Amino acid sequence: MVDVSPKKSLGQNFLKSKKALSAMVSSAEIHPGDYVLEVGPGKGALTEVLLAAGARVVACEIDERMIHYLSEKFSSFIESKQLILVPGDVLFSSWEKEIPQGVSYKLVANLPYYVATHILKFFLERKNSPTTAVLLVQKEVAERIVSRDKKSSILSLSVALYGSAGWIVKVPARFFTPKPKVDSAIILIRDIGVEKIPSFRWGENFFTIIKTAFSEKRKKALKNLKKINGDWDLWFTELDIPKNTRAEDILFPLWKDLCDKYTFFAKK
């Protein structure tokens, strides 16, 4: 018998709420034949619901114990090739070879807390990014991504650059085994694509601007931005941004406008 007890070192917390699992699949709007990449399927609770919805699942799992367990549990789906198990770290494994070239896919996953933002960044910045991502992450991280408090952050702005994020539902800690110390939440990121960035240089400028603006949180955004050469006072006036505004109170569309102005200025 394969030992499938959760490993703390891998951040394994298995979701046991059928309602939450259903919410993840329905939010992803899975249709029969859709390709879905699942990261860290664990014991296969989410995998099972995805397969029932008719998805063609490519599941990437770093834990060899789970690979053996899933191979037995879903042997018929593996035989029919509706499920493909890919061993290894999703950041370095060959999962992409299992999705036909030119075919879109969706990312649906219960991500370990300690690598969630790293994995999200990896997929958003890819040329071959998923069209949609439905992720179960730590509640505090989810709140920052979707700006539930109406405050911007480097994380929320970075995600907004590639797609449109929304809140689905909170998932209390009691719905996991083992029970984590914090609650989780399901988020949806739609319309993902690097093509939304006008150019490579524009993208570099955007991150330079927001990282500079947030570099000293006690200071106003304008004062921080003056560390970069540009007509910042003029641009804030033209965009009707009060000069005493903090970076967290400037929403994504205005950051895009500021980046447009800075990029044009930098070309001169």
Label residue 195 by pLDDT band (50, 70, 90).
confident
Q: The pTM is what?
A: 0.91
For 83-149, give the secondary structure using H, E and C.
EEEEECCCCCCCHHHHCCCCCCEEEEEECCHHHHHHHHHHHHCCCCCCCEEEEEEEHHHHHHHHCCC
Residue ranges covered by each domain of the chain: 8-195, 200-267
Average pLDDT over residues 228-236: 97
Average pLDDT over residues 216-223: 91
Is residue 1 pLDDT above 60, yes or no?
no
pLDDT of residue 104: 96
Fold of the domain spanning 8-195: Rossmann fold (3.40.50)
Label residue 218 by pLDDT band (50, 70, 90).
confident
Class of 200-267 in CATH: mainly alpha
Token pair listed for 128: 């071959």
pLDDT of residue 149: 87
